[in-house]
Amino acid sequence: MPKQIPWWAGGIAMSLLFYFSFSIWGADRSIGASTGMAYISTMLFGLDSSHYEYTKEIESSGAWEALMLLGVFFGGLFTSLFITKSFHISLIPTLWKERKNKSVPSRMFWSFIGGFLLVFGARLAGGCNAGHVLSGGSQMAISGFIFTILALGTGMLVGRVFYKKKKACDV
């Protein structure tokens, strides 16, 4: 079984993250991720801010969020390799194999659909789940709480329907 990080250590780490991201000694802004992805896309495809209105809007915040996303990736990789020692590569998670199928193309298709809906909803809501849940919740914003309740509730409902147990006659 992988080593787990205690809940209180995670709480302290989150508190420090919020303090340094919101404070004038840190980034002096809220936490989000979707703008960072848009910023990375503009860099990859060479979109010039003088031609695209949205690119102008995300130039300053997107650069910070793109660096944060790199930190999240490498921090998670470091933690899974050296602290919890839980790193492994799996194209099909165990629950998917048990409740759906063993097809990699099926898993990739549904992962794409789920990711697309998540990104579409994030842009429709004017931010991402990190922004609404983490920043909104830590600032006690009503919109952050509403988003969190609806996102978790919808996720539990969809998970219950999508991952329903196979009946004995289905096997």
| Single-letter amino acid code for the residue at 39 | Y
Q: How many C-beta atoms surround the C-beta of residue 94 within 10 A?
A: 8
Mean pLDDT of 120-127: 76
pLDDT, residue 60, reads: 67
Q: Which amino acid is at 124?
A: L
Domain boundaries, the chain: 1-88, 91-171
Helix residue ranges, H only, 23-165: 34-44, 53-78, 94-99, 104-124, 129, 137-138, 142-162
pLDDT beyond 70 at 158: yes
Which position has the token pair 């990375």? 40
Residue 49 has a pLDDT of: 67
> In terms of C-beta density within 10 A (0-12 exposed, 13-18 middle, 19 or more buried), how is residue 147 classed?
buried
Is residue 132 within 8 Å of 118, Cβ to Cβ?
A: no
Q: Each residue of 77-108: pLDDT tens digit? A: 999 999 888 888 888 988 888 888 899 999 99
Residue 164 DSSP symbol: P
Q: Which residue has the higher pLDDT, 132 or 167?
A: 132
Q: What angle do CA 162, 167, 169 make, to 5 degrees?
A: 135
pLDDT beyond 70 at 157: yes
Residue 169 in this model has a pLDDT that exceeds 60? no
Cβ-contact 27, 64 below 8 angstroms: yes
Whether residue 112 is predicted with pLDDT greater than 90 in this model: the reply is: yes
Express each pLDDT in 18-76 by its tens digit.
888 777 777 777 777 777 777 888 888 887 766 677 777 777 666 777 888 888 899 99
Spatial distance between the Cα atoms of 142 and 146, rounded to a whole number of angstroms: 6
Give the pLDDT score at 166: 66
| Residues 103-120, mean pLDDT to the nearest whole number | 89
Query: What pLDDT is attached to residue 2?
Result: 63
Residue 163 pLDDT exceeds 70:
yes
